[in-house]
Amino acid sequence: MDAWKLDGFVASLTAASPATVRAYRSDVARFAEWASGTTVDGPDDVSRDHVRRYVAFLSGRGMARRSISRAMASLRRYFAWRTRDGGAAFDPTAGISVPSGQGRLPRVLTADQLGALLGAPADDGAPEWRHLRDVAMVEVLYGSGLRVAELCALDVASVDLDARAVRVWGKGSKERRLPLSEPSVDAIRAWLAHRDDVATVPDALFVNPRGTRIGTRDVRRTVDARASSPTHPHALRHTFATHLLDHGADLRAVQELLGHASVATTQRYTHVSKERLKSAYEVSHPRA
């Protein structure tokens, strides 16, 4: 993070209010963290394509257009400062626009994208435990609709494989018990048979190569590496919810499964489901 010189950028915001300064710093730091998961080592490595991908990433997570606009305003201010005072010769935000409309609908994976993600082969030379862990993680993300942070927080004791259930602690420290799909149960069993070969902590269900509890960045990199195109783990949660509604699940039931405090949050998936049905009709019906 030192390469981004955030303290120098913040010091340049002499006319901004303290709240605005905090927002600018937070937005740039969030972009820097996202960029570190790509080929970017510092701000000089950022290209227009990286910025476009970041806008698509925010849209894919269901972020409102207003929030994306603010994030882009922060990045424009930051890179303007770099080109003015930091000696940078190129502003990667130039010519990048925020998508029009009131915010994109959640991104839902196609059948091919989901199949590629769930069925990705093991990497040559990678240890067997890593492939088994990765399969188990993506199966649980899709099969139970977990948030990434919820997945990372799972303990071995959180899963009851005989009952095909998982206990999850969500936002606001609210607990919910979710069903596990049959592929998830099989994948977790296979992973647990090898977990002790790498784990150095007693509780965490999923661990990193150091043997400690896995982090959200590790999960993001795993999903991106298995996917056929850049994919955020949250897309699996979006796909889980939409597939349930596509097949007639009750909205309130989906709300409970997702752990949403308000049904209004869940309702956006009904719009996705309706758009998918409309698209299927237009493609398939002979008189559409």
Give the pLDDT score at 108.
84
pTM over 0.75: no
Indicate the fold that domain 111-279 takes in CATH.
hpI Integrase; Chain A (1.10.443)
Domain 2-85 carries which CATH code?
Answer: 1.10.150
Q: Give per-residue pLDDT as tens, 146-190.
A: 999 999 999 999 999 999 999 999 887 789 999 999 999 999 999
Query: Any idea which residues carry the catalytic annotation?
Result: 147, 171, 234, 237, 260, 269
pLDDT by residue (tens digit) across 88-131? 778 899 888 775 544 455 678 888 999 999 999 988 888 999 99
Give the β-pairing of 165-169 and 175-179: antiparallel
- How far, CA to CA in Å, does 276 sit from each of 53, 112, 187, 229, 239? 24, 15, 30, 20, 12
Domain ranges, ordered by start, for the chain: 2-85, 111-279
Residue 140 pLDDT > 90, yes or no? yes
Confidence at residue 223, expressed as pLDDT on a 0 to 100 scale: 93
Question: In the prediction, which pLDDT does 61 show?
Answer: 78
CA pseudo-torsion sign 270, 273, 275, 278: negative
Percentage, residues of the chain above pLDDT 70: 90
Per-residue pLDDT at 277 exceeds 80:
no
Please report where in the chains the tokens 């509890």 appear, as a residue. 213
Q: Which residue would you say has higher pLDDT here, 44 or 156?
A: 156
Short-list 61, 102, 4, CA closest to 230: 61
Contact 57, 34 (CB under 8 A): yes
Cβ atoms of 43 and 80 closer than 8 Å = no
